[in-house]
Amino acid sequence: MTQDPKPAFTPILLLAPALLALLLFTWSMGHGDLLKREAREGIPVVLMSQGKGWLLPQISENRIRTKPPLYYWSALAASRVRGKVDEVSLRLPSVIAGVGTVFLTTLLGAWLFSPTAGAMAGFTLATGWRFSYLASHARVDMLFALFTTAAFLTLWKMMESEDPSVRSRWSWMASLMLGLAVLTKGPLGLLFPLLALALFRWISGRREYPVPWARLVLLPLAMTLVWVLGAYLEKGSAFQAMIYEEIVGRLSGTEKIQVHKEPFYFYLPQIFLDLAPWSLFLPAALWRGIRERRRDARWLYPALSFLLLIGFLSLFKGKRGDYLLPLYPMAALILADYFNRYRLPRAIKSAWEVRVPAGLLIFLFLSMVAVFLTPLFVPDLDAERYFRFLSPQDRWMANLLIQNHLPSRFILAGATAVMIALSISLFRFQRRRWLEGIWITVAFWSFLALALAHGPVAEVVNRYASMKPFAEEVAKTVGNQTLVHFGSPREDLLYYLNRPVPELDGEAAFQFFEHHPESFVLAIKTWSDSLTTREPQRSVLLEMNRFDKSYRLIGPAIHQSE
């Protein structure tokens, strides 16, 4: 085993991961229009810019968001600075929060282990695919991860400090971070760090200094109460119903809100997907840490926090992969300590914990070689035939890319050569059990893959996935005339229409159409057939055909002839 005896706290080790994250996340945020879930966060910001829903974010008068307002306020501030609400201003809070989370993870890793391990943790976190994705998209989750990570950092410094006045200052900072986390995404921002703190003190035995539990609980609750009272005065019973459904509904798994019911073990495979490619080494890092570091408080702190959140979230019926985002900084710390502590060749005696994950990565690289080579030798490539292991939606997108955007033979050959070189490097490093070499190889490939996937590839995919062109055509056709939506509309369509679109459903919708023959109707393709059958004087004016977004604009037949 190797560890820095007296590591120098150099600025380059502290800042380099954050600078790389800034480059990667800003590169990613400008290559596509808003997706459905991004627009769900964007519409409330648009309404806030118009003076509506300041305390209680909403999509419409009847659709209140189930999240506190801190992300929306930050996006509104970015929009004011930029001069307008757009994709960049909505994504900027996530970019800043992502860079900040990488920086705090680097700093916490330096304090827990060493500056080298801290830098490795920051790089590892920034190049995890799901973290990188959410750090460049307009979502609440990344801001939540920033404040929970800040809470973990300040709680650690509070426990570590011997001076009572210093401990007090850190506890006040921790309380503030906990309050901001709650104002971003709700009670989990308070529960998760404090449960982890209590579990850590119990298992590690580090109870030499008292913890100001009252301060850590009451200040966040007071901050939240100010918002709750204001929101209740603004919306009254509607806010009360939203709070009830958000808390009780998620615990009980009610159908009134989207709880995404999944089995108890859902998060185990999800971690391997979202933290890829680093997740392949996580079992070995945990196994090695439990064997050799279980009495080391500095290793226990991130490890217990990581394991606690997985177990805690698994108890709920509703599950989403994005709920795991706050634990990825902890996973990055565990991995960085593992790679740094055993970085020299043959520092690890057992070969399996190096060769199994490295072998899986080599298999992945060689599979990519096969993918790159296939178009060179199969001119008429059919994704439906050769890529049946993909989901139907992915095969549909693969066919579009192959038919319309296939790279040149020179680029495919170059990509093949790079993947072969990386495979050879990994093979040589795993034979020597050289973790440092493996880490450098994986970090290089991850950064390169993310830069391509979130840049040029995302820009091409956006041409086929965006609702913006269809919304612009609808706006041009309808003008200032009445426009309604049959059923619940997609949020990205609503965002780019940039106008109120009432929702109608069932028999009430047909009654409205009978009394308003000049109105226009938006509907998904399957619903529009019943409408045109009952209303023969209406016809399809516009149609958007996508794999999962087949939309139609239906209006008076006279417009079709025009």
Clarify whether residues 493 and 382 are in a common domain. Answer: no
Boundary-marking domain end, from 302, 320, 341: 341
Closest CA to 4 of 288, 437, 344, 289: 344
Q: Give, for 203, the enclosing helix (H) or strand (E).
A: helix 188-204
Does residue 366 form part of some domain? yes
* Rounded-to-integer distance, Cα 312 and Cα 241, Å: 25
180: helix, strand or coil: helix
Does residue 89 form part of some domain? yes
- Identify the pLDDT of residue 29: 83
Indicate the number of domains in the chain: 3
How many residues belong to the chain?
A: 562
Clarify whether residues 140 and 226 are in a common domain. Answer: yes
In the β-sheet with 551-556, what is the strand arrangement from edge to edge?
503-504, 483-486, 520-524, 551-556, 538-544
Q: In the structure, what pLDDT confidence band is assigned to residue 247 with cuts at 50, 70 and 90?
A: low
- Helix ranges, 407-489 (H): 409-431, 435-452, 458-465, 468-478
Residue range 274-303, pLDDT digits in tens: 999 999 999 999 999 999 888 899 999 999
Does residue 497 form part of some domain? yes
pLDDT reading at 471 higher than 50: yes
Which residue range is the domain that position 394 belongs to?
352-461
> What is the dihedral sign for C-alpha 62, 67, 70, 71?
negative
Clarify whether residues 444 and 495 are in a common domain. Answer: no
* Rounded-to-integer distance, Cα 209 and Cα 166, Å: 12
Boundary-marking domain end, from 278, 312, 341: 341
pLDDT reading at 561 higher than 50: no
What is the mean pLDDT of the segment spanning 347-352?
84
Does residue 3 form part of some domain? no
* Rounded-to-integer distance, Cα 382 and Cα 118, Å: 46
Contact (CB, 8 A) for 551 and 486: no
What is the mean pLDDT of the segment spanning 416-428?
96
**Angle, CA of 111, 335 and 20, to the nearest 5°:** 75
Clarify whether residues 329 and 227 are in a common domain. Answer: yes
pLDDT reading at 347 higher than 60: yes
Clarify whether residues 184 and 55 are in a common domain. Answer: yes
Residue range 126-170, pLDDT digits in tens: 999 999 999 999 999 999 999 999 999 999 999 988 899 999 999
Within 13 Å and on the Cβ side, how many CA atoms surround 393?
Answer: 8
Higher per-residue pLDDT: 246 or 2? 246
What is the mean pLDDT of the segment spanning 40-46?
93
- Identify the pLDDT of residue 126: 97
* Rounded-to-integer distance, Cα 377 and Cα 419, Å: 18
Clarify whether residues 15 and 78 are in a common domain. Answer: yes
Does residue 6 form part of some domain? no
What letter does residue 327 receive in the DSSP assignment? G
207: helix, strand or coil: coil
Clarify whether residues 211 and 152 are in a common domain. Answer: yes
Burial class of residue 525 (count of CB atoms within 10 Å of its CB; 0-12, 13-18, 19+) = middle
Clarify whether residues 329 and 374 are in a common domain. Answer: no
* Rounded-to-integer distance, Cα 15 and Cα 110, Å: 12
Q: At what angle are helices 297-314 and 141-160 packed, to 10 degrees?
A: 140
Residue range 313-325, pLDDT digits in tens: 888 877 888 889 9
Exposed e or buried b for every residue in 92-107, given b needs 16+ CB within 10 A? bbbbbbbbbbbbbbbb
Clarify whether residues 500 and 543 are in a common domain. Answer: yes
485: helix, strand or coil: strand
Clarify whether residues 138 and 258 are in a common domain. Answer: yes
Q: CB neighbours of 48 closer than 8 A, spacing ≥ 6?
A: 54, 57, 72, 73, 76
Extract long-range pairs of 523-527: CB within 8 Å, 24+ residues apart: 523/485, 523/486, 523/487, 523/551, 523/552, 523/554, 524/487, 524/550, 524/551, 524/552, 525/550, 525/551, 525/552, 526/550, 527/486, 527/487
pLDDT reading at 226 higher than 80: yes
Clarify whether residues 450 and 425 are in a common domain. Answer: yes
Does residue 5 form part of some domain? no
Q: In the structure, what pLDDT confidence band is assigned to residue 529 with cuts at 50, 70 and 90?
A: confident
541: helix, strand or coil: strand
CATH number at residue 489: 3.40.190
pLDDT reading at 448 higher than 90: yes
pLDDT reading at 1 higher than 60: no
- Percent of the chain surpassing pLDDT 90: 52
Does residue 347 form part of some domain? no
What letter does residue 295 receive in the DSSP assignment? T
Does residue 4 form part of some domain? no
Clarify whether residues 193 and 241 are in a common domain. Answer: yes
pLDDT reading at 425 higher than 60: yes
Cis-peptide into 500, omega within 30 deg: no
Contact (CB, 8 A) for 490 and 465: no
φ/ψ (deg, to 5) at 52? -115, 140
Boundary-marking domain end, from 439, 461, 483: 461
- Identify the pLDDT of residue 322: 87
